[in-house]
């Protein structure tokens, strides 16, 4: 679908094939909750392992919203990340560090993880005064409690310095490029990449912990597999982030994730519907998440 070149949100997602169901739900909920569906939205996608058939299914999901949208498929080489620590077998997470350079024509970019339910109109984020800062994110964490906290403390940070989640990021892309942040981030990864437990999230915090614009908590609200069940009124106006594992769409997620129904509210309206799409990648992901499954089962048995 083509839309006029007027002011409109610019959103980007990067995902591998194991996140397909989550990507459908993220983008379906995003379009469903736009207040101006006619003006629409511009969506950049950087994907790994998606076939043309997969892309057609995604378009069918988005067409069902009736919203005006444009999809731009970008290409990204993962070779430069191969020396870094992988995230459940994939390197797509590091794409966040280079997207503003690739999307060289865009001034402001909203990055969204592919494990979200977007229950608000993201257009509001494009009206936020970022106070000339390069990055905006939702805080709430502290460096002293971060998985990579020891690295931060060795480099002059304090335990009380903020640590933000990187699942929802608002980039001042023009300023990012002007400050050559991509090269600075990649250089940091080359030095510490194999040791970073939280991958590119810690890289971003290393550079922007003390100088990012803090978005309201509602734009990245964490929900874990064992979090209390949330209802429609509790999620209204928020971006819900399925943190931890298993995700609602992972093997046995229907039974282990307390908020599977929140995810399924949108998934059942997608072109994927309730099909289980087994793949070698999904099997390997399940094996890598064995410890998370064990913890979930253990908590269930204690109830």
Residue-wise pLDDT tens digits, 15-42: 999 999 999 999 999 999 999 989 889 9
Short-list 216, 213, 218, 64, CA closest to 131:
213
Q: Residue 7's pLDDT is what?
A: 62
Q: Residue 82's pLDDT is what?
A: 86
Distance in angstroms (rounded) separating the CA atoms of residues 242 and 125: 20
Q: Give strand ranges (E) for the chain.
A: 10-16, 41-48, 69-74, 108-112, 116-118, 135-137, 141-142, 162-163, 168-172, 213-214, 221-223, 239-242
Q: Residue 2's pLDDT is what?
A: 36
Q: Residue 250's pLDDT is what?
A: 93
- Spans of the chain below 50 pLDDT: 1-6
CATH architecture of 10-302: Alpha-Beta Complex (3.90)
Q: Residue 169's pLDDT is what?
A: 98
The whole model's pTM is what? 0.93
Question: Which residues in 241-262 are b (16+ Cβ under 10 Å) and which e?
Answer: bbbbbbbbbbbebeebbbbbeb
Mean per-residue pLDDT of the chain? 92
Residue 34 backbone dihedrals phi, psi, to 5 degrees? -70, 135
Q: Where are the domains of the chain?
A: 10-302
Q: Residue 276's pLDDT is what?
A: 64
Question: Hey, is 246 helix, strand or coil?
Answer: coil
Q: Residue 296's pLDDT is what?
A: 87
Q: Residue 274's pLDDT is what?
A: 64
Q: Residue 112's pLDDT is what?
A: 98
Residue 78 backbone dihedrals phi, psi, to 5 degrees? -90, 0
Task: Give percent of the chain with pLDDT exceeding 70.
Answer: 96
Specify whether the backbone of 160 is left (phi greater than 0), alpha (psi in -120 to 50) or beta: alpha
């Amino acid at each position: 679908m083509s839309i006029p070149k007027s002011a409109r949100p610019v959103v980007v997602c990067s995902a591998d094939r194991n996140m397909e169901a989550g990507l459908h739900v993220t983008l379906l909920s995003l379009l469903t909750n736009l207040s101006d569906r006619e003006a629409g939205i511009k969506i950049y996608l950087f994907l790994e392992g998606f076939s043309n058939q997969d892309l057609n299914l995604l378009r069918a999901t988005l067409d069902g919203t009736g919203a005006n949208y444009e999809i731009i498929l970008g290409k990204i080489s993962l070779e430069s990340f191969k020396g870094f620590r992988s995230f459940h077998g994939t390197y797509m997470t590091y794409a966040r560090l280079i997207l503003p350079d690739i999307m060289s024509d865009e001034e402001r970019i909203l990055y969204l993880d592919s494990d979200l339910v977007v229950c608000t109109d993201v257009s509001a984020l494009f009206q936020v005064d970022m106070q000339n800062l390069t990055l905006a994110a939702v805080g709430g964490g502290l460096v002293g409690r971060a998985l990579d906290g020891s690295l931060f403390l060795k480099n002059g940070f304090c335990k009380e310095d903020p640590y933000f989640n990187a699942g929802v990021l608002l980039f001042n892309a023009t300023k990012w490029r002007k400050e050559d942040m991509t090269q600075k981030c990649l250089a940091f990864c080359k030095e510490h990449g194999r040791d970073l437990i939280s991958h590119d999230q810690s890289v971003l915090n290393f550079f922007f912990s003390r100088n990012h614009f803090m978005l309201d908590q509602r734009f990245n609200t964490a929900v874990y597999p064992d979090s209390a069940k949330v209802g429609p009124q509790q999620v209204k106006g928020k971006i819900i982030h399925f943190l931890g594992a298993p995700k609602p769409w992972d093997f046995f997620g229907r039974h282990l994730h307390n908020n599977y129904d929140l995810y399924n509210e949108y998934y059942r309206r997608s072109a994927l519907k309730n099909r289980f799409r087994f793949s070698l990648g999904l099997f390997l992901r399940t094996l890598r998440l064995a410890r998370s499954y064990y913890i979930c089962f253990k908590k269930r048995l204690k109830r």
